[in-house]
Amino acid sequence: MEKSNGLDAVLEAELSLLVAAGVALAKVKEAVEKREWAAFETYNRQVEETAARFAALEAARQESADAETPQTAALKRCLKAEINKIRWTGDALAHYIEEQRALTGAFIEAIYPEKRGTVYSRSGKRASADMRSLVLNQAY
């Protein structure tokens, strides 16, 4: 049996973090579907903490100069599979949220057709429809 190198150790640590992140993300999705907002906050924080630890490991992985072994290649395949699982869970969550947003918007529009296109401020009061009232996500 081959002796594992430093790169393999980093990849194994990354894989365990991805599995933990996948579990936490699935719990985030479940909390959103059940509208359990305290649980959502808890699990979302876990996902963010795991992402920060993963970023640190990824930096260590980039610095590693170890040669690739068959075990390293297998670990990389497992990482890709786990990343795809997480991506699918995230996409499913985004799709669910978008469906709920559209359903809620359609429902409110059906009940209050006269308020269609009305823009509201964060406090719930009517705001002018000019571009000054437009709020953008600060992440963009």
In a domain, residue 26? The reply is yes
Answer whether residue 20 is part of any domain: yes
Residue 140 within any structural domain of the chain = no
In a domain, 24, yes or no: yes
Could you tell me the maximum CA-CA distance found in the chain, to the nearest angstrom? 73
Classify residue 1: in a domain, yes or no. no
How would you class 131 by CB atoms within 10 Å of its CB: exposed for 0-12, middle for 13-18, buried for 19 or more?
exposed
- Considering its fold, how many domains does the chain have in total? 1
Using a cut of 0.95, tell me whether the model's pTM lies above it: no
Comparing CA positions, the residue from 27, 25, 44, 35 lying closest to residue 100 is 35
Residues contacting residue 46 through CB under 8 Å, at least 6 positions apart: 20, 21, 24, 27
Q: How many helices (H) and strands (E) does the chain have?
A: 3, 2
Position 7 scores a pLDDT of: 87
What's the pLDDT at 68?
83
- Look up the domain containing 104 and give its range: 6-133
Query: One-letter amino acid identity for 99?
Result: E
List the chain pLDDT tens, one digit each, 140 residues.
445 578 889 999 999 999 999 999 999 999 999 999 999 999 999 999 999 999 999 988 888 778 888 999 999 999 999 999 999 999 999 999 999 988 988 888 888 777 777 767 778 787 766 655 455 555 54
Tokens linked to 76: 């990389």
Nearest-CA neighbor of 25 among 39, 35, 38, 15?
Answer: 39
Does some domain include residue 82? yes
Per residue in 18-55, is it b (16+ CB within 10 Å) or e — as a string?
bebbbbbbbbbbebbeeeeeeebeebbebbeebeeebe
Q: Is 138 a member of any domain?
A: no
